[in-house]
Amino acid sequence: MKIAEIYDILNRVSPFELQEEWDNSGFLVGDIEKEIKNIYLSIDIDSSLIEDLESDSLLITHHPLIFKGIKKFDYSKYPVNIIKRMVEKNISLISMHTNFDKTHLNKYVVREILGYDLIVSVEDYFCTFEVNEAFEDFAKSVAKKLDLESLRVVKANNFVNTATITTGSGGELIKYIKSDCFLTGDIKYHQALEAKENKISLIDIGHFESEKYFADALFKELQNLPVKVIITNSKNPFTYIS
């Protein structure tokens, strides 16, 4: 199957035109007319993962390997070291980032991982769902379901009627939240202060931890293709010391 055919399918599943202006989703590395037999799905690509991929394959990641123009090709530095190895192994790359967040990933985490029914399916980056639980109970349940090793929260309300989620990094969106609780990753100090003063509880669900389900969500859309689709994942660069 040609990469161009797969790209067209991906574009129908989650149109690339939905990506943000600052994003760089789409076809990034390789020959789009190349025939491939294996597709790998991962949130990111790192040195360990690239060595495990079979040559002459297509990798589809959530985060684009190339965000801005590369001014220097130093083979010892990221991301050029990864690009060099991809070229050597003839591995092509397509990324589905903010477009897939909007159409699939947030919904998938709410329904399939957290187990809630959506009130508002998609409102740009937001998915809102009904909770009706005490804040502590809800926070502990979220931590368990997302397999979080630690939990950072801002408690602004004792009870959560509704919650809104934005996977990845959504702290800058706090001003738009109308729910009792907001779930997102990479929350900064001043964002936490803003939320507490505005009576919005926060649960920091981590960036990697909330988006690692990308491969599972996309697999459901591609599992019937006449090529082998393989779920894999890069490693979280963070580790936790207790």
- Which alpha helices (H) appear in 70-188, and where do they start and end? 80-89, 98-100, 106-108, 135-145
> Is 3.40.1390.30 the CATH classification of the domain at 3-96+212-231?
yes
| Tokens 């909770």, located at residue | 131
Domain boundaries, the chain: 3-96+212-231, 100-204
CATH architecture group of domain 100-204: 3-Layer(aba) Sandwich (3.40)
pLDDT digits (tens, 9 = 90+) for 1-35: 999 999 999 999 999 999 999 999 999 999 999 99
How far apart CA 204 and CA 227 sit, in angstroms, is 37
On whether the pTM is more than 0.85, the answer is yes
Do the two domains 3-96+212-231 and 100-204 of this chain adopt the same fold? yes
| Tokens 């020959």, located at residue | 31
Beta-bridge partner residues of 26:
95
How far apart CA 15 and CA 99 sit, in angstroms, is 7
Determine the angle formed by the axes of helices 3-13 and 214-222, rounding to 10 degrees. Answer: 110
How far apart CA 205 and CA 149 sit, in angstroms, is 10
How far apart CA 102 and CA 4 sit, in angstroms, is 23
pLDDT digits (tens, 9 = 90+) for 78-116: 999 999 999 999 999 999 999 999 999 999 999 999 999
- 240 pLDDT tier (thresholds 50, 70, 90): confident
